[in-house]
Chains A and B, each alone.
Chain A
């Protein structure tokens, strides 16, 4: 207890320095669960609180983080045509992944938490945990080569306009992480679409594609010395990309040549396990499903949304199969789950409780709607290769309306009993 007393002595005066007090409060409640007791109302409360809930969501994403970091490096070396085996030169792949992942993570949190702390101080209430999850999600849905300044602007935009403008945690209409992504998507489409954005560390500006380690080249140099002394493989001099390389994602291929075109480049098991180019955290399906199951077992995320979203996606896929208008529609519906970021959107994006429907019936409609709309955008819209981001934002906007009708019918039922 001596340690905690020392920390308590540090507490700044709330009136004199409110900002410092907000920061102190945030850090203290991070270290210790406070000693407040229930007053009026219930005397015993559930052990769960928002901090733990959010921490559990972040925990559920950790496998995606680990795999994402590895996959950044793996895709890079695949493009170079070296270390093609999955377990070859893992140290290089992970290190390269970290040089991409860490700056993204740090920038996201510094910018996001900065805005969050400032608003908590301005409003005079405690720092809410909502950004923990948003901040963990944003790096996973960005391309590995995203310029950090664009990321910073996107995060600031999302937190300011999608969250604080609506009143902070719990009040937002749209999923904040997706607003950040949609901002990049529409403001800087070159960075987050096309065939050249998904494999990191390549320079496409000249006729010949070369490796480009950018500002982090010194890290490679530093570690190369270490690894050389250990006798391990090193990054070596900057290389040239193999002939015929294309960083096209399965979705881009499917849009032009259907399932045939996809299987020419990627096998279904590659798609399933996620050793393909894509946003950092969304490629590996089994790892996402593990996270999703974790959230369902902990009763944090709604299984209704997830299940109905799968149903919506599968049904639309079947309908497209039956329709069969073009090659993309003929992609067997089951393989739509293998491509793109369906599972990531399902597990971590659509289930955001703040922006989803609040009623259980509403959740079924909401999830199903995302499944259908996402597939329509994916298959029928030539401009956007992937649909879940737009589908979720679209259904986010409709979630209050869905709830409104469900509540109205509940009210009508009750009043008609008079």
Chain B
């Protein structure tokens, strides 16, 4: 139903209402007015009821004819649409998913668009970054051994095809083992200039899906694909329903992916071509419709993919949120997700037959003296990256401040992260901290900065209160642009009710999606670890 129709229907209704009431007012008795009003209300309700049924019939018909987005088939005005800002010109006429839930945390220390010089000599691959890898992967390198970029470091014992390779060439200097001899990290001392292990040329046009999978596994780019719902390494035997790539990162201090992809347009497109061959479904790109600048040509002009525009606050840029609005994950379905830089690595493999693990990492946060981007490789040493750049008493985070991992200054950036954040530690007491009007990051209206307007924060890591039982309700929903009840889901996880978890949509979520709810939680509940607990429960059931 188009807009003109309801623009006729509603004024007509208003006119009827107006005349009816003005007629009623000519009789002075209040009771008559009352009964007239009630009569009108009943008529309007009846009329609305008929319209409602008509709309449902229309939508049922639309669904039968295979239409996915039935919200377009509505008799009622989508009043919400009237209040949207005019879409940015670069979107043209493409439909936009407007997501009103979410929150953009304004932090100081946005990464500037400059390349910082940095010499990183150590790199490490952390086996814990790969979900679904058994606790003790088979390590085939020993300390002292020389490797090329692309040489195997360790592999999955259950599926030896899936190998994790060296991101750089150099010498293996440490194989660190954690509890029960599970390996935690393999550390490499990198060569000054990287030597690559050459792989055989590959003709993408004539290759079968199996050949492509084997080639990608051999070259070690396979673990770059994450399979949802559980966030594991992608299954080599089973094609995913769809593949999703988010082309913007909405997290605080996140890298600008348009900047990241600059100069890598060919690799990105090649990567998309490869992915297209791996799925029976489609490759979906999520594009940012709320930026002031149009997204990079690499994204908007890519072909062979479905593009979807999203406008909204964080976590709109999370691929999980985009999946929910494009083609949500149903029980038993598997989809794959990749980051932009992972797609580039895959593209580079097929273009130049070598494992290129370059990463442009963004350096941001109020604890950094200088912010910007650093060209490096997967698993770069934080000590080298942040040398002389970070203030005292700060926390280093590989990833964003919501869902990143805390790292020691001797740590390494994690496999899938393209961002290093540093914020002050909040390990200090505050006198009457719970009562004083302070300037603090918040989504509630309790702090004075809500009135003062947009303020950028030097937010620290203090919990700002103690953990409590769930008391407030309706706090998580405005933080998660999905048709999901996060708080009830969390309660289902606590009570280990697997049917309820699945029914409430746990398979659509990952930690990063729920992180903003955890930020907003009055009761300081650990939602991300709870969610993972629930996902693990379901994973071990299936």
Contact = CB atoms under 8 A, between A and B. Distances in A.
Which range contains the number of A residues in contact with the other chain? 35 or more
Interface stretch (B13-21, B210-218, B338-346, B422-430): B422-430
A50 B471 contact: yes
A50 B442 contact: no
Contacts of A412: 503
A285 interface: no
Contacts of B331: 415, 418
Contact of A410 (B332, B430, B483): B483
Contacts of A410: 483-485, 503-504
Interface string A34-51: 111111111111111111
Contacts of A359: 473-474, 485, 488
B404 A41 contact: no
A321 B31 contact: yes
A51 B434 contact: yes
B473 A358 contact: yes
Given A44-B459, A47-B440, A35 B426 contact: yes
Interface in B230-277: 252
Contacts of A299: 443-446
Nearest to A354: B471
A265 interface: no
A240 B38 CA distance: 50
A354 B487 CA distance: 12
Interface in B416-456: 421, 423, 425-435, 438, 440-447
A414 B463 contact: no
A300 B515 contact: no
Most chain B beta carbons < 10 A, residue from A46, A130, A318, A415: A46
A332 B330 CA distance: 53
A30 B436 CA distance: 12
A381 to B, nearest CB: 23
A304 B317 CA distance: 29
Contacts of A353: 471-474
Interface in B505-537: 505, 515, 518-524, 526-529
Interface string B395-418: 101000111101000000000000
Nearest to A411: B503
A10 interface: no
B81 interface: no
Given A45-B524, A414-B505, A33 B406 contact: no
Contacts of B524: 45, 49
22 contacts: A29-B466, A36-B463, A40-B406, A40-B526, A40-B529, A41-B528, A42-B402, A44-B519, A45-B462, A45-B518, A46-B522, A47-B438, A49-B466, A49-B468, A49-B522, A52-B434, A55-B434, A169-B471, A297-B445, A300-B444, A353-B472, A358-B473
Given A33-B465, A410-B504, 17 more contacts: A33-B430, A33-B434, A41-B528, A43-B423, A44-B459, A46-B440, A46-B441, A46-B520, A48-B447, A128-B468, A169-B471, A170-B469, A322-B38, A332-B30, A353-B474, A417-B328, A417-B330
Interface of B: 30-31, 34-35, 37-38, 105, 107, 252, 328, 330-332, 395, 397, 401-404, 406, 421, 423, 425-435, 438, 440-447, 459-466, 468-474, 477, 483-485, 487-488, 500, 502-505, 515, 518-524, 526-529
